[in-house]
Chains A and B, each alone.
Chain A
Amino acid sequence: MAEEEYPDVELSDKQKKEIAKWFLLNSPAGEIQYVAKDLRSVLNDERIYNEAAQEAFPLYNKSHIICLEFPDRSGDVLITSYNELDKNEYLDPRTAQVATVNHVKQVCTEVRPAADEELPSPYIEDFRCTLDAEILKYVGEAYPKGICSVYCVNGKDVEGPGSNFELVVVISAVKNSPKNFCNGSWRSVWNIEFKDDMQMLAIRGKIQVDAHYFEEGNVQLDAKNECRDETMFQAPDDCALSITNTIRHHEAEYLASLEESYSNLPDTTFKDLRRKLPVTRTLFPWHNTLQFSLTRDIQKELGIGK
């Protein structure tokens, strides 16, 4: 089974660090701190662990779009690649603040007001802010614990009509209940290109849903989908409404397709792995297996056996 040769020579520190990073980056949603704890004791080398953690945590935090609360609890900031100003600094456009975070501890340590040049122009901010308000309303309705934000990722300094720009809507909902051996995360990222020249908006969405249940076992769900849509370039209010409606529609449709995948499991998909009952629809006749050697002989003679 294990074809791997056990190394006679010790692994190099670099190899150990790579392995440590691999474990951290592949932690299920919400479980990196638990993985880190076990990994530390397996590695038994603080220096290597710390180096691996310094590199892996920022990547994990961004790809899982984790949410950190401000130190004064007045709000929170999402950790994404779209609002990263520096490797420890993340912009919260809603409050126009910049949060300093400790990636490994997964806490926000400090908040400062954002500088003018870190924020979009008033023209862009108008679109961003009205969209943020609509998305906030939608997320509040659809996700019991959803966090969302809208960032400008292209053309944040555009002063007025005539240029293209791009906003990103990020929605993250997390549920961790380690006591029930269950964790999960829903993340969706919607890129909206405002094409001024064509007077239309191109919308691209990526949704990722993970769930992990590990009481006396280890079962994970990974589901992903991508979709595209478009709508007209209008005034900020109307854009915000039509973008939010588009997102609501696609996300509701996706949830319905997830439910359908689950309802197809017992009788179709799972059946291709193992049936609930044998093809004969009765339990296997273990008490009478002699019959099989007879039927086998007949099958062989008729040439229908395997």
Chain B
Amino acid sequence: MEAAMGLMRRIHPKQSETALSALLSLLPHHSSDLLSQVDQPLQVLCDVDCGKEFILCEYNRDADSYRSPWSNKYHPPLEDAPYPSSELRKLEIEANEVFAIYRDQYYEGGISSVYLWEDDDSEGFVACFLIKKDGSKTGQGRRGYLQEGAWDAIHVIEVGPEDEGTAHYCLTSTVMLSLTTNDESSGTFSLSGSIRRQMNMDLAIADGHLCNMGRMIEEMEGKLRNSLDQVYFGKTKEMVCTLRPPAEVVMRLPNS
């Protein structure tokens, strides 16, 4: 399993789906570990009731069906499927509405879905916030710079039971992205990758769970975007400049 994760860490992010299915077939007995530890690009389905798209993940899946957060129905229909309690469903509806506005303000498009379910172990609940954005010029890229561009974000928050007015929130976030520009003079330029981070907080529930979860996600997304931009992309740029330093540097250090 460690070796399998080692492979996933090295293989090109754009090939992670192929790599995962290869590993699943080589290590069928580790399939549940692999599926829970390796994040995959998000898939969407269309809710037949309201015509809106929703995102698929392990958390809204039962057998081969997926529950839509809009109509609360499984696609394809499934008998005896699990549903959140009515109280949790109420919060889920609100979370989906608000998160869609949040998503629109940051992403100028894209699809989002939020799923909630009871956490039997801790008497709290778990929420999963998903965003998928196609930023290519044929998708929803406003500025039209990207030949190809995808951003998938997965935020899973475990919310502990209330304790003296506060609750413990544990957020695990993954962002997977790829972007490619292509033009005649500069050729193909493509960056892709994924990172995962965790954040723990104890917050007063007076503001409401949604408000607390939302703030954590907003902060986390900002951090992830920033470190991808500054650190991860920056490191690859540094590498390019190590391989072939820009002209000014060469002139300054003629003997290096």
User: Could you list which residues of chain A lie within 8 angstroms of chain B, going by C-beta atoms?
Assistant: 1-2, 4, 6-7, 11, 15-16, 19, 22-23, 26-28, 31, 34-35, 37-43, 141-146, 173-175, 182-186, 207, 209, 211-214, 216-226, 251-252, 254-262, 264-266, 268-280, 283-284, 286-287, 289, 292-293, 296
Contacts and interface: CB of A to CB of B under 8 A. Distances in A.
Contacts of B101: 289, 292
30 contacts: A2-B24, A6-B31, A37-B3, A37-B6, A38-B6, A141-B250, A145-B243, A146-B244, A175-B242, A182-B235, A186-B240, A209-B243, A213-B236, A216-B195, A221-B190, A221-B233, A222-B12, A223-B240, A254-B186, A258-B186, A261-B186, A265-B191, A269-B181, A270-B225, A272-B145, A273-B177, A275-B108, A289-B101, A289-B210, A292-B101
A292 B97 contact: yes
B187 A38 contact: no
Contacts of B145: 264, 268-269, 272
Interface string B226-240: 101100110111111
Interface in B125-173: 133, 135-136, 141-146, 149-151
A183 B9 CA distance: 13
B256 interface: yes
A258 B11 contact: no
B181 A142 contact: no
A291 to B, nearest CB: 10
Contacts of A272: 135-136, 141-146, 149, 179
A31 B106 CA distance: 37
Q: Which 5 pairs between the two chains have the least Cβ-Cβ distance? A: A225-B187, A219-B193, A278-B105, A217-B195, A257-B186
Contacts of B90: none
- Interface secondary structure of B, over-half rule: helix
A19 B236 contact: no
Instruction: Give the size range of B's interface with the partner.
Output: 35 or more
Contacts of B12: 26, 28, 220, 222
Contacts of B177: 273
Nearest to A252: B247
Contacts of A146: 244
Interface in B1-47: 3-4, 6-13, 15, 18-28, 31, 35, 40, 43
Contacts of A211: 235-237, 239-240
